[in-house]
Structure 1
Amino acid sequence: MRRAVVFFLVLSCFLAVGQEKKYVTVKKALNLMGTAFEITVVAPSEEIGYINIDEAASEITRIEKMISSWDPDSETSLINKNAGIRPVKVSRELFGLIERAIKISEITDGAFDISYASVDNIWKFDGTMKNMPSRGAIAQSVSKVGYKKIVLDAEVQSVFLTQKGMKIGFGAIGKGYAADKAKAFLMSKGVPGGLINASGDLTTWGTKATGEKWMIGIANPLSKDKVFSWLPVIESSVATSGNYEKYIVINGKKYSHIIDPRTGYPTSGVQSVTVFAKYAELCDALATAVFVMGKDSGIHMINQIDGVEVVVVDDANKIHRSSGILFNNNQ
């Protein structure tokens, strides 16, 4: 549904000495789920740190095998193959993820929708598109999209896509979910602190080896090297969705590559959305939803959800925020 754009400058410390133990911060960049991951852990030694990171990477690979629509043997592919034919019994884990995704669709009135994978791609963001598609073509492109067409049976734990040609995909929630699961795994292993950056879907726990908080910097839209505010991320997560690099201009109007799954039209008026919440899965999904809903409706929705905050940059580079965000500007 979207391509995450990373505008985080993560403060990290590579060596610290505590009062009782010596800890190091170990970081490794990996290519997982077809995108860039960076896993950072606090450990008693580099050797143990790298073992922890490799184990977390294995957990992320396990998630990918479950949710990938490119893997013909995945549970997700089996659901898609049987669209309009029959329900498919799935694992409790995947059923739960789909169930939560549908709840987010309900909260956002369909601005977030995993059935968006069904869309026919008529918009081109490679510089070749000069004119708007016809209304008929746009309507046809989303004719198979609609979260209400996903039928769940909790008793038998099955998923049924009611229309032939329907597909589900986890592009706007999967990386966040994988980050959450890797974090939970590392915490269960006793890793005292860390940070997982799943190509812009970021989650943390504990502190840096120095005892300091993990901090992220939200970059200026016009200059990614300049931070307009540093914000602490304490036992929490953050995700950003943006259109800085992928958009089209038609008749002088800028359209994002992020498509409204309800209408088939690209979004406009917003440059980036950064969502803060406890879970990266929720941040991931809501960042897309707010982008689709627009500044006013999106912020209003976030203000109704406990424990969730948002920062929106509009197309005039003006910063807007939900009620719980207090900036510490440091240009």
Structure 2
Amino acid sequence: MLRRVLILLILVFSNSSFAQGTFKRTLKLMGSRFDITVVAHSQIEADQYIDLAIAEISRIEHLISSWDSNSETSKINANAGKQAVVVDKELFGLIKRSIGISKLTQGAFDISYASMDKIWKFDGSMKTMPDASEIKASVEKVGFENIVLNENNSSVFLKLPGMKIGFGAIGKGYAADAAKALLMKKGVIAGIINASGDMNTWGKQTNGSPWNIAITNPLNKEKVFAMLPVDNQAIVTSGNYEKFVKFNNVRYTHIIDPRTGYPSTGLISVSVMAPKAELADALATSIFVMGKDVGLNFINQLKGVECIIIDESGTVYYSDLIKPKP
């Protein structure tokens, strides 16, 4: 009898030691809201993992920040038109991949967008549309072709004086990828890194079900039109429904085409699903610039990437492989 009780006690403690829960922390990082969720055995263990993720995201923020004068990104910008700057291989790799996405999107995505003159204002103060010559001049220093990389010494050179690079359209996605990779390496079996709409998931919920990500229509945030089960995948949603100006009945939104200087039109939300948040982040921005038809055709040619687009009338469009069945 005693032996049976001992065996039962061992089983109870054994099961409790393997019981896991879901723990979440919300905070501000990289100037944005981050929600970090992990599956762990206890709050103490979860806090340790979340602290690791925060430290990793903060490290990346310092690496890519254009506001920190001591960052390597700022040093690249400060030496534009003067000399090449040797940088960490991690930053070099991010810039190289960014240029690759620029080539893939024919310039719809471009980290040298930071060189644009800020002639558009989306705070309600803008009463007239900028002159066409002013718009053209605003992008004279933009162009990924003017970013020169040297693989031999990991150096970066911006050809044009006054040229700048920035990672606003890819940085949070990269940070989410890095935090996820670190936590997986540390043994965290499941979680979600949500960087203000840049969602990166791995593993499953404690009940064995996949994580479900809700996609809402920004014109009616109470209505969920898609609930997507995701497994080790990223979903990035970019919205263009709050920051805009309207001239001649055309709604110009805050994502600007780096090739022309004109803001994007016609779309209010783009959600992209991809293996990496870095890629999904960049492509979501690109689709705004490309527009619905070109954007859908582009995504349909990419393996492992899907998208959901909402235009300014509230109509929802899907890429081929996730299109709902009639």
Is the shorter-chain TM-score for this pair beyond 0.5, marking a shared fold?
A: yes
Alpha-carbon separation, structure 2, partners of 1:190 and 1:21: 14
Q: 1:156: which partner in 2?
A: 153
Aligned residues: 313
Distance verdict in 2 for CA 1:136–1:18, change over 3 Å: farther
Is the Cα contact below 8 Å between 2:214 and 2:226 reproduced in 1?
Answer: yes
Residue deviations 1:265-306 (CA, integer Å, cap 9, x gap)? 011011111000010000000000011000011111111110
Which amino acid in structure 1 is aligned with residue 158 of structure 2? L
Is the Cα contact below 8 Å between 1:59 and 1:181 reproduced in 2?
Answer: yes
**Which of the residues 48, 73, 76 maps onto 2:73?**
76
Note if 1:192 corresponds to 2:172.
Answer: no
**Which of the residues 38, 43, 52 maps onto 1:41?**
38
Alpha-carbon separation, structure 1, partners of 2:302 and 2:325: 23
More helix by share: 2
Q: 2:173: which partner in 1?
A: 176
For structure 2, the residue ranges without an aligned partner over 5 or more in a row are 1-13
Alpha-carbon separation, structure 2, partners of 1:291 and 1:233: 23
RMSD after superposition: 1.5
Note if 1:241 corresponds to 2:233.
Answer: no
Which amino acid in structure 2 is aligned with residue 319 of structure 1? V
Q: 1:55: which partner in 2?
A: 52
Alpha-carbon separation, structure 2, partners of 1:105 and 1:323: 23
How far off is 1:18 after superposition? 7.5
Which amino acid in structure 1 is aligned with residue 288 of structure 2? F
Q: 2:3: which partner in 1?
A: none
Q: 2:308: which partner in 1?
A: 311
Is the Cα contact below 8 Å between 2:109 and 2:282 reproduced in 1?
Answer: yes
Which amino acid in structure 1 is aligned with residue 249 of structure 2? G
Q: 1:296: which partner in 2?
A: 293
Runs (4 or more) in structure 1 with deviation over 3 Å come to: 17-20, 326-329
**Which of the residues 245, 259, 266 maps onto 2:256?**
259
Alpha-carbon separation, structure 2, partners of 1:63 and 1:184: 13
Alpha-carbon separation, structure 2, partners of 1:221 and 1:84: 42
Residue deviations 1:117-175 (CA, integer Å, cap 9, x gap)? 01110001011112210011101111100000000011111100000000000000000
Alpha-carbon separation, structure 2, partners of 1:326 and 1:46: 40
Matches within 5 A, 1:1-331: 21-327=18-324
Residue deviations 1:102-131 (CA, integer Å, cap 9, x gap)? 000000000000000011100010111122
Distance verdict in 2 for CA 1:60–1:328, change over 3 Å: farther
Alpha-carbon separation, structure 2, partners of 1:274 and 1:196: 16
Corresponding residue SS for 2:192: strand
Is the Cα contact below 8 Å between 1:142 and 1:262 reproduced in 2?
Answer: yes
Identity %: 57
Alpha-carbon separation, structure 2, partners of 1:18 and 1:229: 36
Which amino acid in structure 2 is aligned with residue 246 of structure 1? K
For structure 1, the residue ranges without an aligned partner over 5 or more in a row are 1-16
Q: 2:8: which partner in 1?
A: none
Is the Cα contact below 8 Å between 1:23 and 1:209 reproduced in 2?
Answer: yes
Which amino acid in structure 1 is aligned with residue 321 of structure 2? G
Alpha-carbon separation, structure 2, partners of 1:178 and 1:222: 29
Residue deviations 1:211-230 (CA, integer Å, cap 9, x gap)? 11101111123211210110
Corresponding residue SS for 1:324: helix
Which amino acid in structure 1 is aligned with residue 240 of structure 2? N
Is the Cα contact below 8 Å between 2:211 and 2:229 reproduced in 1?
Answer: yes
Corresponding residue SS for 2:269: strand
How far off is 1:321 after superposition? 1.1
Is the Cα contact below 8 Å between 1:231 and 1:327 reproduced in 2?
Answer: no
Which amino acid in structure 1 is aligned with residue 262 of structure 2? Y
Is the Cα contact below 8 Å between 2:87 and 2:156 reproduced in 1?
Answer: yes
Alpha-carbon separation, structure 2, partners of 1:224 and 1:328: 24
How far off is 1:20 after superposition? 7.6
